[in-house]
Amino acid sequence: MSHQTSFADLDYSYKKRRTRREVLLSEMEGIIPWQVLLSQIEPHYPTTGRRGRQPMALETMFRIYCKLVQPVRPANGRCSV
């Protein structure tokens, strides 16, 4: 005999635990003024039109860079120097 699904089971099944990456990206989205920073970097970023490998989109590269230089926060929340 199969288990009957309740309304609570259905409601909980759509929720998933947010990963640390999702939390970090949502925090970065609220803190960093992307358009202001991108407008300052854009004049110095290489554009297409040259031979060879084409550069990635500026916004993509900048988000990757910000993610890489983000300080690592330990699980206990305290920073050790």
Supply 69's token pair. Answer: 């230089």
Model confidence pLDDT, tens digit, residues 6-36: 777 777 677 777 788 788 888 888 888 888 9
Alpha helices in 1-81 (DSSP H): 7-13, 20-31, 34-41, 58-69
Count of domains for the chain: 1
Positive or negative, the CA dihedral 38, 41, 45, 47 is positive
| Structure confidence at residue 19 (pLDDT) | 80
Model confidence pLDDT, tens digit, residues 35-81: 898 999 999 888 877 788 888 888 888 888 888 876 666 666 555 54
| Structure confidence at residue 74 (pLDDT) | 62
DSSP state of 44: G
d(CA 40, CA 44) in angstroms, rounded, equals: 8
Whether residue 61 lies inside any domain: the answer is yes
Which structural domain range is residue 60 located in? 18-47+54-72
Whether residue 64 lies inside any domain: the answer is yes
Whether residue 4 lies inside any domain: the answer is no
